[in-house]
Structure 1
Amino acid sequence: MAAVSPQPRAYTPGYLPNGAPPHQSGPAPGAVPLLPNQGRVIQTGPVRVLCIADVRGNLRSLNELAKAARADYIIHTGDFGFYDDTSLERIAEKTLKHVAQYSPLISEQTKKAIAQGGPGPVKSRFPASELPLSELPQLLSGELKLDVPVYTVWGACEDVRVLEKFRSKEYKVPNLYIIDEAQSMLLEVGGVKLRLLGLGGAVVMHKLFDNGEGRTTIAGGQGTMWTTLLQMGELVDTANRVYDPTETRIFITHASPAREGILNQLSVTLKADFSISAGLHFRYGSSYNEFSVNPTLDHYRGKLAASKASFNDVWETVKAEVEPAIQQVEAQQTLLKNALAVVEKMPSTAAGGNPFGGAATGQSAAALGQVDESAFKNMWNFNLADAAFGWLVLEIQDGRIGTEMRAQGFNFSHRGARQQPSTQQASAPASAPSQAAQTAAPSAPASQQRSTPVPAASPAPRQASSTPAPAQPKPATPAPAPSASPAPKEEKPAPAPAPAPAPAANGSAANDASAPPPSRTPAENIIGLFIMNAQTDDQIRDLFADEDKSKIVKIEKWGQNKVAHFKTAEERDAALEKIADEFKNRAPGQEDRSKPLVKVFSPPGRQFSRAGGAAWGSGRGGREGGNAQSGYRSAGGGGASDSEGAGRRGGRGGRGGRGGDRGGRGRGPRSGGGKGEGAGAGASEA
């Protein structure tokens, strides 16, 4: 048996079972009481901030995503689902169809029934129980709770009445914080002070001065919301009041600063270190700074100058009404000045000298606009995929902000699951389908050649000499299962062969349920109306008068758009005459492409005039002359700059020169195309 040590011990309490009373009362010898600040729980390890977009009312997914990403906080960038039990009666029919189409809460059977159309509006054909817009009522009642703090802005599809109730504190949800122009948030995590600045709603130039149905400073109506210029001015005021150089600033928006130059300039004014946005609905998130995506500074200045010119068009139109309206309200005058100062600092031309160290020789800094070097190279932008497809995590530890991006991505399984040709097809020359695909419809626009299957057209004379008989094409590739499921099994080929589809761009065609049919009517045989920006056949039929709906032979997919067929040109022209003017012409300064546009169909490859209709390009600034320069002129005015060369802005039509005379968009009498529908070749509007 070991001997007990004879050395004395200062304190020997002995071994006591848990919860047993001590041998003596009072603290143990040498114990020191805790100070108040020593009783805190200190979190070790990184703090994870989950950034997601577009949960679309599926608020239970916030808790699921937080668990999957091991997140301590959530930042959400809009289309949150701010709809309550009364929102359905206020939402517009068009907005309801859009929300229902993408809602994760509405059953697939109901979605198909809505897409197929029927008599009467959607709200009269389905009970409210089959059209759940959001799980926000469960949050408000306490049935559903948020596990982690959620910081969000509102998106484009929200109810302005609900947001006003949150702002007035009538609605309160634990762990839900709405960031807007009047309220910012500060997170002190991982040795970093994160200042969250937010701006919600869509950015639509011609609505910047429209408050809609909003009773306060929030703008919106009929289930949609947008940003106003006064909100931008108030955000600048809020950011200046809370400015602290030790903070890291994150600018949270629904619209993307990459596509909206005015938001890009606003982020510079706010001195933001990061911008987090959504609104593009990609399958992958993107991470970039302006230096990485702009080949030259002229290119970057051109993007800002384009946005400034678009804003000035609207401002000059409404200036005479806006200034008297706010003359009596000094606070609104200040906010307007703040916002106009943001636009004023933007370049008015793509040309410029040294943007980081003063103006070029003989030109003032005000004329060229300023480009912030630190923002150009250091401000990082994140555009998120929808919450159903991916997320971004900011991992913060010891003053360092790391990133982790995850995306479900595109489904490419269809490329390895092609059908085997039948015995009869095997005897046909293997190269015939590919040759037909190369030569069919040579005059079709490039956008159609990439995204639509080639029609079964007769071979060219060159082919006729090499192939004695037309070959039977291979059967079409089967549509793959959703990307979350395993690769689909091969199916037996159908008895009647169909043309093989063109290769899908980035795998997207395989996931597109609205892909065009394998064959379509040859362009030269079509008597019809070309309709852009229409999502469903039901939406197209709603454009026509009741007596003309029965005269529509069929509605056919054409590229990213559709064509309504008629038996005779007389029936077609009569139907076009009865369509409302708002669907036949674009108003000056119109930037919203959600509204359908109807023109007389003409085969691709022809030149289209305004008188003959079928002007497929948006045509901001005409190109009838054939030599009008798009983009913005470089120094000296002799042609386009190296980054905004002629013909590189075809998707939005030419804007004319932005040199001293402002090209085709001067304030005097308009000539040529002006701001009307230009003579764009090809369906550039998708």
Structure 2
Amino acid sequence: MKPRSYNQGYLQNGAAGLPQGAAPLLPNQGRVIQTGPMRVLCIADVRGNLKSLNDLAKQARADHIIHTGDFGFYDDTSLERIAEKTLKHVAQYSPLIADPIKKAISGGGPGSVKQRFQPRELPLSELSQLISGELKLEVPVYTVWGACEDVRVLEKFRSGEYKVPNLHIIDEARSMLLEIGGVKLRLLGLGGAVVMHKLFDNGEGRTTIAGGQGTMWTTLLQMGELIDTAHRVYDPTETRVFITHASPAREGILNQLSVMLKADFSISAGLHFRYGSSYNEFSVNPTLDHYRGKLAASKASFNDVWDTVKSEVEPAIAQNEAQQNLLKNALQLVEKMPTVAAGGNPFGGPQSGPATQGQVDESAFKNMWNFNLADAAFGYLVLEIQDGRIGTEMRAQGFNFSHRGAKQQPGAAPAPPASIANAPSPAPPSTESAAPPPPSRQASAAQTKPVVSGPKPGTPQPKDEKAPAPANGSANGPEPTMSPAPKSNPADIIGLFVMNVQSEEQCRDLFEDEDKAKVVKVEKWGATNKVAHFKTVEDRDAALAHLKEEYKTRAQNQEDRSRPLVKMFMHREGGKFANRGGAGNWGSSSTRGGGNSSGYRSAGGASDSESNRRGGRGGRGRGDRGRGGRGRGGLKGDGASPAPAE
């Protein structure tokens, strides 16, 4: 097939040379040029598991990593300095320490943790591998320090004794600028926990970094220095990101600090949620006064501490002009915070109250966006930057709700035949499920030849000790009376339906002495319900008439569901689903006042599926639609009892 005349660049496979008219490659052709967005991965609390940084970067296709503290700044000498209480906390959540060691630590024992275990059994961090070069960071990492770090290690990084390629520590004295995706991203950071009574305590820190015994916190002088740093590098063309370990949502002084830094975003951790959160103050505060109140409360807490230590702090820094300036910056930060919730300067408008009430900047209330991260083991945030726009992706492992579905499944399955009512639930044919039934149930299980009636691998088996309540609707409870199958033909029963009684004796005690002798038997009907049988209709009606009024009726909308309630037992015709709701009874007083009407039951009552299997679901009809209701058991009318068990 000949090439078309307009395709001058066509070259047949195997042909040598360039066709006539083909142009040579330009200087920028033939190169691999990176296109598309730049991705910044934001994570928290790797807790010394530094290999995971490279894994997470690959998973998120990240070009840079921002980390918000609890990085794992521990070296080989940190274990001897860490306090016992801090060591237990770090070990409990460390991804590097084996589970048996964690259990042994949490279980306690004679002596301290350091005495009971060898140092090799208590690895705090992989930082030593980074320092030695055994482990390398594949992408640049920008981090602040968290609450559980070694202050000595941070001081060695600041002095230059420790150096790690691609690791950049953001603190009050050092900010970083990333020019990516058409955005100048200025990173400003403040590490450590925010503890009001430690704002003026340097701990064991030899420089301006505060900490000791394996923990670190921030000081007021660090805040003052961060303000100075932010002012020195200020550029209106930059997008400013405030990175903290503590959450500005919880710490009003950090929230006010972000305003003073003119931050566009704040990225924090410290709450250890299973999901990350994204919000601005306008979205979580109903009014501006509510926001002011949070700042005012933080200011009051600070002033309590400042009034206590003021007489000691001011003389201590009297000869140091630099520290005086830093303290002045920090105190100005607090002075600008509102004193009371009402008033202030809303959105930078005219002053609506005394100047002492403080000013509230609109940038904090509406424009600054906050991200609080889940721990790195549970999720992360990605900032995707392209053409001057910053997009976000948030991923979380989240909570595990599979146990709820597992509990409801047995209740949804049909009841097994009466001959194997106490046998384990049938399972599909498989090699794994061919386990023999428990010895106490072999007789009943032997009636079914196929081995498929054995329990599934994950099905809990009965134990000798007192076992917890069976799964909802299961047929293999600890006693035969828990079987949902009725012992009597409902159509032949002459009786009274008694709700909320735990035993046969309690049921009999409701009746007068002359009627107790007429009760032929008391039959269990559901988890906490009974049916009292009588020989004749006359005996039944007389017993009902002699009952106290409190046992026969319940006040409208009464919430107490623990009192016994007695109604006439009446069998409904029309099959086993005859009493599952129906039209017309939604507004009846008996529906709302019945013993098992809609609403969640307490732990002692029947669960959803038990009510479905043993007591019907007739509590919530839907008007004229004629659909079955979704109440949890209960009565449809004054003279109606739940449908017979299936």
**CA positional deviation for 1:168:** 0.6
Are 2:71 and 1:80 equivalent residues in the alignment? yes
Q: d(CA) in 2 for partners of 1:178 and 1:425?
A: 67
- Partner of 2:302, secondary structure, is helix
* Matches of 2:16 and 2:171, distance apart in 1: 58
Matched, 1:333 2:324: yes
> Which of 108, 116, 120 pairs up with 1:125?
116
How far apart are the structure 1 equivalents of 2:25 and 2:145? 51
| Counterpart residue number, 1:392 | 381
Judging changes above 3 Å, is the alpha-carbon distance between structure 1 residues 194 and 240 closer, same or farther for their aligned structure 2 residues? Answer: same
CA–CA distance in structure 1, aligned partners of residues 118 and 213 of structure 2: 19
Residue 207 (1) aligns with residue 306 (2): no
The equivalent residue for 1:426 is 482
Matched residue, 2:396 = 407
1:41 deviates by 6.8
Q: Please show how residues 278-317 of structure 1 align to structure 2 within 5 Å.
A: 278-317=269-308
Q: Deviations over 1:332-377 (max 9, x none)?
A: 001001111110100000011651244555x32x222111112311
In structure 2, the partner of 1:473 is none
Aligned-pair distance for 1:425? 5.8
Cα separation, 1, equivalents of 2:225 and 2:31? 37
SS at match of 2:243: strand
Instruction: Give the Å deviation of 1:318.
Output: 0.4
Which residue identity does 1:463 align to in structure 2? S
1:352–1:359 CA contact under 8 A, matched in 2: no
Q: 1:275 aligns with which of 263, 266, 270?
A: 266
Counterpart of 1:195? 186
Q: 1:114 aligns with which of 105, 109, 132?
A: 105
5+ long unaligned stretches in structure 2:
408-470, 485-497, 503-558, 568-601, 607-646
SS at 2:394 equivalent: strand
What residue number does 1:98 align with? 89
Q: What is the deviation of 1:42?
A: 4.6
Displacement after TM superposition at 1:502 (Å): 11
Change (3 A) 1:129 1:398: same
Q: Partners in 1 of 2:128 and 2:243 — Cα distance?
A: 25
Q: Normalising by structure 2, what TM-score?
A: 0.62
1:397-445: per-residue Cα shift (whole Å, max 9, x none)? 0000000000011111111122234554636999779xxxxxxxxxxxx
Question: Is 1:240 the equivalent of 2:231?
Answer: yes
* Counterpart in the other structure of 1:372: 361
Aligned pairs for 1:152-167 (under 5 A) are 152-167=143-158
CA distance in 2, matches of 1:392, 1:282: 13
User: Structure 1 residues 394, 357: closer, same or farther in 2, change over 3 A?
Assistant: closer
1:321 correspondence with 2:297: no
- Mapping of residues 399-478 of structure 1, within 5 Å: 399-418=388-407, 419=471, 420=474, 421-424=477-480, 426=482, 463=562, 465-466=564-565
Q: Distance in 2 between matches of 1:40 and 1:334?
A: 53
Task: Determine the C-alpha separation between the residues in 2 that align with 1:407 and 1:201.
Answer: 24
- Contact 2:68/2:145 (8 A) holds in 1: yes
Aligned partner of 1:471 in structure 2 is none
- Secondary structure, in 3 states, of the residue corresponding to 2:329? helix
Structure number, greater radius of gyration: 2
- CA 1:297–1:369 in 2, change beyond 3 Å: closer, same or farther? same
User: RMSD over aligned Cα, in angstroms?
Assistant: 3.3
Which one of the candidate residues 21, 45, 48 is aligned to 1:54?
45
What one-letter code is carried by the residue in structure 2 that aligns with 1:290?
A: E
1:80-122 Cα deviation digits (max 9, x unpaired)? 0000000000000000000000000000100010011111100
TM-score normalised per structure 1: 0.58
Query: Whole-Å Cα distance in 2 between the matches of residues 467 and 91 of structure 1?
Result: 65
Question: Closer, same or farther in 2 for the Cα pair 1:159/1:467, shift >3 Å?
Answer: farther
Q: Is the 8 A contact 1:290 1:376 kept in 2?
A: yes
**Does the residue aligned with 1:304 lie in a helix, a strand or coil?**
helix
In structure 1, what is the Cα distance between the partners aligned to 2:217 and 2:37?
36
Cα distance in 1 for partners of 2:270, 2:64 equals 21
| Change beyond 3 A, Cα 1:85–1:367 | same
Aligned mates of 2:267, 2:334 — CA distance in 1? 21
Are 1:150 and 2:249 matched, yes or no? no
Q: What's the CA shift string for 1:287-321, capped at 9, x where partnerless?
A: 00000000001100000000000000000000000
Amino acid at match of 2:357: L
**Closer/same/farther in 2, CA of residues 287 and 461 from structure 1, 3 Å limit:** closer
Query: Against the structure 1 CA distance between its residues 390 and 15, is the aligned structure 2 distance closer, same or farther, given a 3 Å change threshold?
Result: same
Match of 1:231, SS state, is helix
Residue aligning to 2:58: 67
Describe the superposition over 1:53-93 as per-residue Cα deviations: whole angstroms up to 9, x where unpaired: 00000001101111111111100000000000000000000
CA 425–102 in structure 1, closer or farther in 2 if over 3 Å, else same: farther
**Structure 2 vs 1, CA of residues 17 and 194 (structure 1 numbering), >3 Å: closer, same or farther?**
same
Contact 2:499 2:564 in 1 (8 A): no
Find the residue that maps to 2:92 and give its secondary structure.
helix
Question: Are the counterparts in 2 of residues 353 and 359 from structure 1 also a CA contact under 8 Å?
Answer: no
Structure 1's 172 and 461: CA in aligned 2 closer, same or farther, altered over 3 A?
Answer: closer
d(CA) in 2 for partners of 1:391, 1:502: 42
Secondary structure of the residue aligned to 1:249 is strand
Deviations 1:525-582 (A, max 9, x none): xxxxxxxxxxxxxxxxxxxxxxxxxxxxxxxxxxxxxxxxxxxxxxxxxxxxxxxxxx
Q: Are the structure 2 counterparts of residues 131 and 357 from structure 1 closer, same or farther at C-alpha, using a change threshold of 3 Å?
A: closer
Please give the per-residue CA displacement for 1:434-487, whole angstroms capped at 9, x wherever unaligned.
Answer: xxxxxxxxxxxxxxxxxxxxxxxxxx998354499xxxxxxxxxxxxxxxxxxx
Change (3 A) 1:340 1:432: farther
- Taking structure 1 as reference, are residues 239 and 39 closer, same or farther at Cα in structure 2, changes over 3 Å only? farther
- Matched with 2:465 is none
How many angstroms apart in 2 are the aligned matches of 1:215 and 1:353? 40
Inter-partner Cα distance in structure 2 for 1:396 and 1:54: 24
Question: 1:103 and 1:353, CA in 2 relative to 1: closer, same or farther beyond 3 A?
Answer: closer
Count of matched residue positions in the alignment of Structure 1 and Structure 2 = 427
Matches within 5 A, 1:355-366: 355-358=346-349, 360=351, 363-364=353-354, 366=355
Residue type of the alignment partner of 1:167: R
C-alpha change, 1:329 and 1:116, in structure 2 (3 Å) is same
| Offset of residue 34 of structure 1 | 6.1
Give SS of 1:187's match: strand
Q: Deviations over 1:493-539 (max 9, x none)?
A: xxxxxx95999xxxxxxxxxxxxxxxxxxxxxxxxxxxxxxxxxxxx
Distance in 2 (alpha carbons) for counterparts of 1:99 and 1:463: 46
In the superposition, relative to structure 1, how do residues 292 and 431 fare at CA in structure 2: closer, same or farther (>3 Å)?
Answer: farther
Identify the residue that residue 513 of structure 1 maps to in structure 2. none
**CA distance change for structure 1 residues 430 and 49 in 2, over 3 Å: closer, same or farther?**
farther
- Structure-2 separation of matches of 1:52 and 1:272: 19
- CA positional deviation for 1:396: 0.4
